[in-house]
Amino acid sequence: MSDPRVVLPRGLIATRRWLDAPRSGGTGAGAVTGAARAGAALARQGRPEPAMTWLRAAAEAGDQEAMRDLGGLLVNTGELEEGEAWLRRGAGAGDAEAMLHLGRLLLFLGRREESGAWLERAATADRRLVASLVADLRKRGATADADRWARHAAEAGDADMAVDLAVSTLLRGDHAEAGRWFALAERLGHTGTGLARWAVAQRLGDAAGQRRWLEEAAATGEPEAVVALAATLAKAGDPGRAETLLVPAAEGGDARAQTMLAWLLTRREDHGEAVRWACAAAAGGEAGDVVAIGEALLEQGRPEEAEQVLRACADAGHAEGRLRLGRALLVRGKAAEAAECLREPADQGMPGAGLLLGMALMETGDENGARRAFHRAAAGGDGRAAHKLGLMAHQAGDRGAAEEWYLRGARSGEASSMYNLAMLLGERDEAAGHRWLVTAAAHGHAHAALRAGVAEAMNGRTEEAMRWLRHAESLGEPQAGAVIAMLRGR
């Protein structure tokens, strides 16, 4: 019953012993909880059969959450009658979420009166569950029921549900009713009504309304509205006003505003300020977007600033940021530091990390370490790493191993491996060598295209030769133009 993909709680051995043994006597609370959590983990992985085994054991032992989860799982797999029975047991034991799920099931079975009673009990036990119910009803297209429960919560003082109801009403075209609900939300302290109106205007394709409500929401200092309005201004060709708008929100600590401000500053090449705000945004949780700013700085020829930004992303725990930092360090000649930075991404199997680690280790003179890194990356399907191993074998005079690695690289789509394989094979099998040469040329290897063109010219096939030579020229092969001119002259 164990599964390597399931991370089960502490006390699993005791739980398993309890589950597998005849349960004639008492049960430990830890074992019951462990079974419930194990079942929930399996259910999240989409494995209902083993999940039900664990959940049923815990539910029969009296675990309310297991009753609820088992009931929900049975309903989802079509076992409505048994699922309803377990949800009733959980709801009867006082589990508010079981009450919610039972009420929702009864509603969609058409038993509205009984459904309403359970949903009312769930809402009374935990008001936060109403939002989940309303979202589910809207997802299923039950707009009238969703509006009824949103109204129920809004009248009880839930500002978010007042906004939800206002949006629903507005989408139906009843502006007066929507205005009343928006006003209630504002009286209840909701600060995002302008943003909600903007979202509705977006859905309705109302460009004038979008700008009006976005301006109003931004004027309140709502960070999300400020960022959205700044994006609109920048797209409309007014980055200066966008920057002015973003500065207060960025200074207030909003990471999204800091990220956009850093982008705008990067574009106008105010690199010092761009780095300052990018690093702040990375520390504030926006490292995923900030990584791209580091890459943009590299493209602008600002490696030092790029390194600062990428280091901030890495320090924030962003795995891709750590990988990109390692690559930037390698490009800057800091091979030892790059290797240390790349070990963790390589251990995690991130694409390209093993290749870069091998390259960094080669730079430090650790050839054995580099070979191990390339081996692991090649085993994961990285054709470039296989090519590196081919080069290492070739340089060591092991032509057999070189051919094997080049072949693996070639089959992974690595054009340089195709070309080197063509050169090796051509020494003993001209036809096989030519096939790989043409394949390398077709995959964008400029020198392979040149040699394919020369080979065709030597065989008297001038038209085919010119096709390959023009391809080589388009790929940047410097000798292609001279060969073309020579063929034309001849």
Which H, E and C letters describe 460-490, residue by residue? CCHHHHHHHHHHHHHCCCCCHHHHHHHHHHC
CA atoms within 13 A on the CB side of 459: 12
Q: Determine the pLDDT at residue 126.
A: 82
Helix orientation angle between 175-187 and 159-171, rounded to the nearest 10 degrees: 170
Q: Burial code of 186-206, b = ≥16 C-beta within 10 A, e = fewer?
A: beeebebbbbbbbbbbeeeee
Closest C-alpha among 58, 64, 71, 67 to residue 15: 58
Q: Which residues contact 68 (CB under 8 A, 6 or more apart)?
A: 86, 87, 90, 95, 97, 98, 101
User: Which CATH number is 1-126 given?
Assistant: 1.25.40.10
Q: Determine the pLDDT at residue 490.
A: 64
Q: What is the DSSP letter of 333?
A: T
Structure tokens at 103: 């009420």
- Pairwise CA distance, residues 287 & 120, whole Å: 43
What pLDDT, in 10s, does the model give residues 428-457? 888 999 999 999 999 999 999 999 999 998
Q: Are the beta carbons of 344 and 318 closer than 8 angstroms?
A: no
Stated pTM of the model: 0.60
Q: Are the beta carbons of 149 and 133 closer than 8 angstroms?
A: yes
Q: Which residues contact 275 (CB under 8 A, 6 or more apart)?
A: 262, 297, 305, 308, 309
- Pairwise CA distance, residues 203 & 117, whole Å: 35
- Pairwise CA distance, residues 401 & 387, whole Å: 11
DSSP assignment of 6-58 equals --PPTTHHHHHHHHHS---S---HHHHHHHHHHHHHHHHTT-HHHHHHHHHHH
- Pairwise CA distance, residues 78 & 83, whole Å: 8
Residue 318: other Cβ atoms inside 10 A? 21
- Pairwise CA distance, residues 122 & 128, whole Å: 9
What pLDDT, in 10s, does the model give residues 90-105? 889 888 888 988 988 8
Q: CATH fold of 140-220, please?
A: 1.25.40
Amino acid at 454: V
Q: Can you give the residue ranges of every domain in the chain?
A: 1-126, 140-220
- Pairwise CA distance, residues 223 & 221, whole Å: 6
Whole-Å CA distances, 313 to 64, 133, 272, 290, 449: 42, 38, 17, 7, 41
Q: Determine the pLDDT at residue 359.
A: 96
Q: Profile the chain (490 residues) by mean pLDDT over runs of 10 residues.
A: 41 44 50 78 84 86 88 88 90 88 87 85 82 84 86 87 87 84 86 74 74 74 83 88 91 93 94 95 93 93 93 93 94 93 92 94 95 94 94 94 94 94 90 92 94 90 92 92 84
Same CATH topology for 1-126 and 140-220?
A: yes
